Structure 1
Amino acid sequence: MLKEQNYDRELYNEDLAPTTENQRTWTTYHYVALWLGMSICIPTFMLASGLIAGGMSWKQAIFTIFLGNVIVLIPMILNGHPGTKYGINFPVFARLAFGVKGANIPAIMRAIVACGWFGIQTWIGGEALNAFISEVVPGWKGFSLGIWISFIVFWILNMWIVLKGMEMVKRFESFSAPILIIASLALLAWAIFAAKGLGNLLSQPSKFKTFGEFFKFFIPSLTGVIGFWATLSLNIPDFTRFAKDQKSQAVGQAIGLPLSMTFFSFIGVVVASASAVVYGQAIWDPVTLISKFNNPIVALVSAFVVSIVTLTTNIAANVVSPAYDFTNLFPKILNFKKGAIVTGIIGIIIMPWKLLSDYSTYIFSWLNGYAAFLGPIAGILIVDYYLIRNTNIDVSELFRLNGRYSYSNGYNSRAIIALVIGILVGIIGRVIPQLKTLYDYAWFVGFFISGIIYYILMVGEKKIEEINMSKEDAYAKAGETY
């Protein structure tokens, strides 16, 4: 814990404090399990199936998803490093580049996206729970308020688990991982059996006749895939701060993220293709697929598994981060648990059922839209930590209003300028058709433009040598945090 004389109450509470050695219990398995729990989820299924519905062949869809996840793995591991090295979470890490008060800007941007995701996942989980109850309670299907009651019950279940704390999150993810693998393989087996083999499933050609047609759809799709985990690439320190060492978080993520996403995406592609063979149309909503099962036992088990799958992702990916982010905004008033409740409330207000209206809204409006905002943040954080600071941080100064990272009244204007420019360049293609390519590449455009501008502004203001701490100084300061 930080010594009392080293922090200001407006920037500190126990949930924001660096983790202690005793809290660092996460091993490689825990990070693999974390990514299995987050990746094997209904939105992953929807993403893969949505690409098929958009015209891709299964090979094109799987390649797009694999490539996107390999790309996003890079900032995931890079931003995970400070969490493990210094035991700090995302909003505290953001103070380094944006200032001790300015960090609230990227933190709230990330939190709002998480609230949207929380709402989406909770709605999906509510649908699954509603399907489960419909198989158990006769007449429930005809009850008009059934879906809304299921939605609220599932919301409460999410809140209950998160309010038990991060240790409960770790246990729940670790326990669920094997169940998710078994359930995924069972779903794959159903698809193969129902369609009488893989031949029928994987023989469906791409709808794109030329490379140009494919590429036009591929680029925004790739940006959407990257946007899928662009959120976690920012707040991954929220989890890596509990790692035993850097190897645990880096290897665990390298194994867990791309492999599990590609694995379950393949299952999504096969199941969507199977549904086209069996039911005459590609069904990209698993809950809709469950409703078509004639066997009540299969439908019952499927609905139960979908509920568990949604819980594992929702809790880890969509509640932990905004809970910390809202806590960072009002440390005196909010803590992790209260921040989680705020997340849950906003997740309802955001009306997630509208975001899931069709695959184009889901992939191109939702995923691409927020990727344009989060790419610039990732660029600034990585450039600051690796190129400006050389990974050396004075942790105690992150909790001081008038310290090294206060800049001007707590805000680093250079980071804010770089952020705004990166966002504007990315989203301008949304309103100017001739510049649509910029929007299609929004995450990449924002990442590199904001990162480069931030580096130029920081070096122009001061020499890097003056900004940087020596390694010896950094290690001495880091020792004060425990």
Structure 2
Amino acid sequence: MKKTGMSILPIPVKDRTAGGLSLFWLWCGGNVLLVTFMVGSDYAPSIGLIPTIVLTIFANLAAYTCIAWSSQRSAKYGIDEIIALRPTYGIRGSIFGVIILVGINFGWVGILTALAGKSAKHVMITYGGGFTFTGDYIIYSLIGISIPIVFLLINPKYGFTLAKVTFPFFIALTIYILYKLIQPENWNAMASVKPTFEVGGAYVFELCVAFAVAWLPYLGAWNKFAKSQRHAYWTAYLGLTAMGILFGLVGGMATLLTGEHEPPAWAGQIDVGLPAYLIIVFGNITTIALLTYGGVMAILSIFPKMKYQIVTLALALPSTIFIFSASLQDMFNYILLFVGLLAGPYWAVSIADFYFLRKEKFDVRECYNPNGIYKYFHGFNPVAIFSQLVGMIVWVYLGGWMSGMSAFSYINGESLFHLLSATFPAMVVSGLVYVIAGKIIFSKYQFGGYSFSKKNSCTKGVDKAS
């Protein structure tokens, strides 16, 4: 018998063992990321100390509100995130979600691996008597990615064990770093930094929303273990939001104090070096496990006959090429552009479909039937794809200028961006288009098993976990 969580089949309610506390620590741990520090570091020099504090808090509170809604599908039915996309996009259309997830995973795991290696090297040089050797950074990075992979190969449920054991400690260390940063001497130094005004509040909101959206592909991979939908929603929201705020504040303040953007660089310049390095090294190791598992399950949704262990290795190892990346900050920004353009509109359509058209019900068995009610047109739902494309066009018009490419830069769009941002409006438009178009089209034609279809003779949706 396969260990629970190593296949794409629904997890029965009796086998879902993740309660509120374990899920809370899991999602707290999800945002115990070096890249979460880098969110605050990205905009703090432009807006100054007080705006950084205020906007970091309110932008994260808003960003994760709707993101946590997406966790309900997998929590209700015990299915993986990609399987939960099939009622909206079709059996084959959900493959695009896999491509997005793997792309995000590839970037995040690569950046985290590189940062863990850099930090481990700093620890050995600073606290190990200057110990160094040729290729040490590469060796440390490879060790950093190997440890979580071993845990995943044994049993994915060890992700919860890792979270419960390590993340409370790392969160406490981060709070200690925040305490050190707000001491009078450091506070005065940060407050004296004059803002560059290169970006404003809309950019801060955009960055926080895009970073939150990057979690959408992963929510179902872990919330399918949840004992209840209530646990899934509130733990995801509170855990991700709390750490988004805490780490964003620490990253932004540290950058204001030191002028450095990457955590391994600023950690050595403030009087919290070792605690910061411990968070970077061991926190990244645990988070790599959480992210990699989400990618593995996505690939298995397309190739269910592949061995779980082989997919785990195949997904994780290529990310090591980021060890040789010249600028992790640039790579971080490119990943968020990718997320805002593709993941935002794509998942917005699915969320709108689940809540407004399906009334939180779909047929789980049909999610595994290639010739069933979610076949649509050759396995694809044209209405969902069209709605996603509309959202992408909106994003390009508003936020294309951030790519630095003149072909995607629009003066009027950039002006509107400073009022609206890009990812959130694109998500709203794509979801709204699908609700309107879906209501009109599927009320006339028998596709997707919608209960309001006049010609629908199929199962209208079941409220079962398997």
Smaller-chain TM-score range? 0.7 to 0.9
Between the aligned partners of 2:215 and 2:194, the Cα distance in structure 1 is: 33
User: Would the aligned equivalents of 1:390 and 1:468 in 2 still touch at CA under 8 Å?
Assistant: no
Q: 1:325 maps to which residue? A: 298
| Greater helix content | 1
* 1:393 CA drift (Å): 0.9
Letter in 2 for 1:122: T
1:75-224 aligned within 5 A: 75-135=66-126, 140-141=131-132, 143-192=133-182, 196=185, 198-202=187-191, 204-208=193-197, 217-224=200-207
User: Would the aligned equivalents of 2:254 and 2:266 in 1 still touch at CA under 8 Å?
Assistant: no
Whether 1:303 and 2:303 are equivalent positions in the alignment is no
Q: 1:284 maps to which residue? A: 261
Letter in 2 for 1:240: N
Between the aligned partners of 2:142 and 2:177, the Cα distance in structure 1 is: 27
User: Would the aligned equivalents of 1:422 and 1:450 in 2 still touch at CA under 8 Å?
Assistant: yes
Q: 1:279 maps to which residue? A: none
The DSSP-based 3-state class of the residue aligned with 2:67 is: helix
Letter in 2 for 1:468: Y
Letter in 2 for 1:56: I
User: Would the aligned equivalents of 2:173 and 2:275 in 1 still touch at CA under 8 Å?
Assistant: no
1:318-467 aligned within 5 A: 318-335=291-308, 337-349=309-321, 353-357=325-329, 362-363=332-333, 365-428=334-397, 429-430=400-401, 431-434=408-411, 435-437=413-415, 441-463=421-443, 467=449
Question: What root-mean-square deviation, in Å, do the aligned CA atoms of Structure 1 and Structure 2 show?
Answer: 2.9
- TM-aligned CA distance change 1:122 to 1:407, over 3 Å: same
The DSSP-based 3-state class of the residue aligned with 1:196 is: helix
Letter in 2 for 1:128: S
1:58-73 aligned within 5 A: 58-73=49-64
User: Would the aligned equivalents of 2:82 and 2:301 in 1 still touch at CA under 8 Å?
Assistant: yes
Unaligned runs of 5+ residues in structure 1 are 2-12, 276-281
Identity, in percent, stands at 19
* 1:93 CA drift (Å): 0.5
Q: 1:9 maps to which residue? A: none
TM-score w.r.t. the length of structure 1 is: 0.83
Letter in 2 for 1:26: A
User: Would the aligned equivalents of 1:36 and 1:260 in 2 still touch at CA under 8 Å?
Assistant: yes
Q: 2:404 maps to which residue? A: none
- TM-aligned CA distance change 1:423 to 1:348, over 3 Å: farther
- TM-aligned CA distance change 1:152 to 1:412, over 3 Å: same
1:423-476 CA-to-partner distances (Å, cap 9, x unmatched) read 233224342332335777331232122212222332232218974349xx6675
* 1:225 CA drift (Å): 1.4
Q: 2:229 maps to which residue? A: 246
- TM-aligned CA distance change 1:261 to 1:302, over 3 Å: closer
1:62-86 CA-to-partner distances (Å, cap 9, x unmatched) read 3332233223323322111111111
1:261-319 CA-to-partner distances (Å, cap 9, x unmatched) read 212322233333343xxxxxx222221134447x9xx7555433321121233322x21
Q: 2:33 maps to which residue? A: 41
User: Would the aligned equivalents of 1:25 and 1:243 in 2 still touch at CA under 8 Å?
Assistant: yes
Q: 1:28 maps to which residue? A: 20
Q: 1:19 maps to which residue? A: 11
User: Would the aligned equivalents of 1:50 and 1:284 in 2 still touch at CA under 8 Å?
Assistant: yes
Q: 2:216 maps to which residue? A: 233
User: Would the aligned equivalents of 1:123 and 1:151 in 2 still touch at CA under 8 Å?
Assistant: yes
User: Would the aligned equivalents of 2:345 and 2:388 in 1 still touch at CA under 8 Å?
Assistant: yes
Letter in 2 for 1:390: K
Between the aligned partners of 2:87 and 2:324, the Cα distance in structure 1 is: 33
Whether 1:268 and 2:257 are equivalent positions in the alignment is no
* 1:22 CA drift (Å): 3.1
User: Would the aligned equivalents of 1:16 and 1:328 in 2 still touch at CA under 8 Å?
Assistant: yes
Between the aligned partners of 2:90 and 2:151, the Cα distance in structure 1 is: 33
* 1:19 CA drift (Å): 1.1
- TM-aligned CA distance change 1:437 to 1:375, over 3 Å: farther
* 1:203 CA drift (Å): 5.0
Letter in 2 for 1:25: T
Match of 1:468 among 447, 450, 463: 450
User: Would the aligned equivalents of 1:322 and 1:339 in 2 still touch at CA under 8 Å?
Assistant: no
User: Would the aligned equivalents of 1:425 and 1:438 in 2 still touch at CA under 8 Å?
Assistant: no
Letter in 1 for 2:168: P
- TM-aligned CA distance change 1:149 to 1:329, over 3 Å: same
Unaligned runs of 5+ residues in structure 2 are 402-407, 453-458
Letter in 1 for 2:260: I
Letter in 2 for 1:425: V
Letter in 2 for 1:32: F
Q: 2:464 maps to which residue? A: 478
User: Would the aligned equivalents of 2:349 and 2:434 in 1 still touch at CA under 8 Å?
Assistant: yes
Between the aligned partners of 1:104 and 1:179, the Cα distance in structure 2 is: 38
